[in-house]
């Protein structure tokens, strides 16, 4: 039973003036589901649309089309404040930059206390106690001291822990972590990843882990989604996908981190402006055949549980 399901989610941003209006297809036909107690990694390069997916699910943007199904309803269409509030208490977002996601003029206590009050998680008299429990839960001790501090008095890792505690305050079912470790020092990244693993098990949370780092995806995730230019080009169990990738883009990413020589000249994975038909990866693809430039490939399950968007390695029957 999935906690949250994303169906054919698309988002395009208009650019240019009224006369030459164009659309950047940041996210296109993205579908996947998140399961309780499982971590799904969403991997891609900058501009691939991976953060936009997380923000769409968090309702920070409205999707252009498609739906986000949660608790039986399509939350992309929900407008009533009460229902939005209920959704927000169950789906939490952790931001990439722990230096930007905390208000510099507010104490740690404020950041954790506000969600508790807004969603009336505990009675007012127990708020202090709950704040301390949450801070201890993410390894910030002594909680009384930490709660009184301002963000600039904490290190990057500690700030990210505060952000995680804030997300957990509302006892969410889904946590969307948008590159939570990429701004942190190498030696403390593992600590944050381990914390996410622990929380997943303790609270049975469905995690979406957005990252550009394949190795960390393999370290904590159960499933993986690979994004390129706004589309999911491959999905499957993380071990299986990384051991035997189907899509040439996944192979390229793996080659890059394995330190193999890279033959092609990268042109980035940015979303396309008003793309025509054809595979987005065709200009960089070593396997391209004529059909690739004309027909957009579908996501086809070529192996059990593993699907890819490629005419060559995962052809439609």
Partner 1 sequence: MSAVATKTLLEVRGLEVEYGRVRAVDGIDLSIDTGEILGLAGESGCGKSTVANAIMQILRPPARIAGGNIVFQGEDLVGKSTEELRRFRWRNVSMVFQSAMNALNPVMRVGDQFVDMMQAHERVSKHRAIVRAGELLELVGMDKGRVRAYPHELSGGMRQRVIIAMALALSPELIILDEPTTALDVVVQREILQEVESLKRDFGFAVLFITHDLSLLLEFADRIAIMYAGEIVETARASTLAAEPLHPYAQGLLQSFPPLTGPRVKLTGISGSPPDPREQPSGCRFHPRCPHCVPGNAALYLRQTSERPRLREVAPDHWVACHLVEA
Partner 2 sequence: MAQLDPTALDLPLAAPKRSIRVGRIRVPGWLALLLRNSKSRTGLLIVACVVLVAIIAPLISVAHPNDFNLLAARQAPSWHHLFGTTDQGSDVFSQVVVGARRSLLLGALAGALATLVAAVLGITAAYVGGIVDEVVNLLTNVFLTIPAIPLLVVASGYLRARGMWTMIAVIALVLWAFEARILRAQALTLKNRDFILAAKASGEPTWRIVFGELMPNMISRIAAAFVLVFYISLLVDSGLEFLGLGDMSATSWGVTIYWAQVNSTVLQGEWWPFMFPSLALGLTVLGLVLVLAGIDEVSNPRLRTEHKRGRIVALLFGKATA
Please list, residue by residue across 20-51, b when 16 or more beta carbons sit within 10 angstroms of its beta carbon and e when fewer do.
eeebbbbbbbbebbbbbebbbbbbbbebbbbb
**Interface region with partner 2, contact rule CB under 8 A, candidates 87-95, 129-137, 205-213, 294-302:** 87-95
**Interface region with partner 2, contact rule CB under 8 A, candidates 95-103, 217-225, 274-282, 299-307:** 95-103
219's contact among partner 1, partner 2, none, with CB below 5 to 8 A by partner kind, is partner 1
The answer to the question of residue 212 lying near partner 1 (CB under 8 A) is yes
The answer to the question of residue 146 lying near partner 2 (CB under 8 A) is no
Q: How far is the CB of 64 from partner 2 (least distance, A)?
A: 18
Handedness of CA 88, 43, 36, 8 (dihedral sign): positive
Kindly identify the residues of this chain, within the stretch 107-126, that bind partner 1 according to CB under 8 A.
Answer: none
The answer to the question of residue 268 lying near partner 1 (CB under 8 A) is yes
Size of the site for partner 2 (CB under 8 A): 30
CA-CA distance, 159 to 151, in Å (whole number)?
7
The answer to the question of residue 203 lying near partner 2 (CB under 8 A) is no
Indicate the pairing of strand 231-237 with strand 223-228. antiparallel
92's contact among partner 2, partner 1, none, with CB below 5 to 8 A by partner kind, is partner 2
The answer to the question of residue 160 lying near partner 2 (CB under 8 A) is no
Please tell me whether the peptide bond between 49 and the residue prior to it is cis, using omega within 30 degrees of 0.
no
* HSE of 62, CA atoms in CB hemisphere, 13 A: 5
CA-CA distance, 301 to 316, in Å (whole number)?
9
Give the count of beta carbons closer than 10 Å to the beta carbon of residue 208: 27
Q: Which is nearer to partner 2, 93 or 269 (CB)?
A: 93
β-bridge mates for residue 30, sequence order? 9
Q: Which of 135, 165, 214, 233 binds partner 1 (CB under 8 A)?
A: 214
The answer to the question of residue 218 lying near partner 1 (CB under 8 A) is yes
Q: Minimal CA–CA distance to 168: which of 194, 133, 193?
A: 133
Q: Which of 25, 88, 200, 280 binds partner 2 (CB under 8 A)?
A: 88
Q: Which of 105, 215, 263, 277 binds partner 2 (CB under 8 A)?
A: 105
The answer to the question of residue 97 lying near partner 2 (CB under 8 A) is yes
CA-CA distance, 307 to 299, in Å (whole number)?
6
Site of interaction with partner 2 (CB under 8 A): 55, 58-60, 84-85, 88-89, 92-93, 95-97, 100-106, 114-115, 118-119, 150-152, 163, 166, 170
């Amino acid at each position: 039973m999935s906690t949250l399901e994303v169906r054919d989610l698309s988002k395009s941003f208009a650019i240019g003036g009224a006369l030459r209006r164009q659309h950047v297809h940041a996210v296109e036909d993205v579908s996947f589901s998140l399961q309780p107690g499982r971590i799904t990694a969403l991997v891609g390069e900058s501009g691939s649309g991976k953060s936009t997916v997380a923000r769409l699910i968090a309702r920070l943007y409205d999707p252009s089309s498609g739906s986000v199904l949660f608790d039986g309803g399509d939350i992309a269409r929900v407008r009533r404040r009460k229902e939005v509030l209920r959704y927000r208490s169950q789906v939490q977002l952790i931001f990439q930059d722990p230096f930007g996601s905390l208000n510099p003029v507010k104490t740690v206590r404020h950041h954790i206390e506000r969600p508790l009050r807004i969603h009336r998680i505990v009675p007012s008299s127990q708020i202090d106690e709950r704040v301390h429990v949450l801070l201890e839960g993410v390894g910030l001790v002594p909680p009384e001291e930490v709660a009184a501090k301002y963000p600039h008095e904490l290190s990057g890792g500690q700030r990210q822990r505060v952000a995680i505690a804030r997300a957990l305050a509302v006892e969410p079912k889904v946590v969307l972590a948008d590159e939570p470790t990429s701004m942190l020092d190498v030696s403390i990244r593992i600590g944050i990843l381990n914390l996410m693993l622990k929380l997943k098990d303790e609270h049975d949370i469905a995690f979406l882990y957005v990252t550009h780092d394949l190795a960390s995806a393999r370290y904590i995730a159960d499933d993986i989604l690979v994004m390129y230019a706004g589309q999911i080009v491959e999905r499957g169990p993380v071990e299986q996908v990384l051991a035997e990738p189907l899509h040439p883009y996944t192979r390229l990413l793996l080659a890059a981190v394995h330190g193999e020589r890279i033959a092609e000249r990268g042109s980035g994975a940015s979303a396309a402006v008003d793309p025509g038909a054809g595979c987005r990866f065709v200009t960089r693809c070593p396997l391209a055949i004529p059909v690739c430039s004309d027909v957009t490939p579908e996501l086809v399950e070529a192996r059990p549980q593993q699907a890819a968007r490629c005419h060559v390695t995962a052809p439609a029957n």
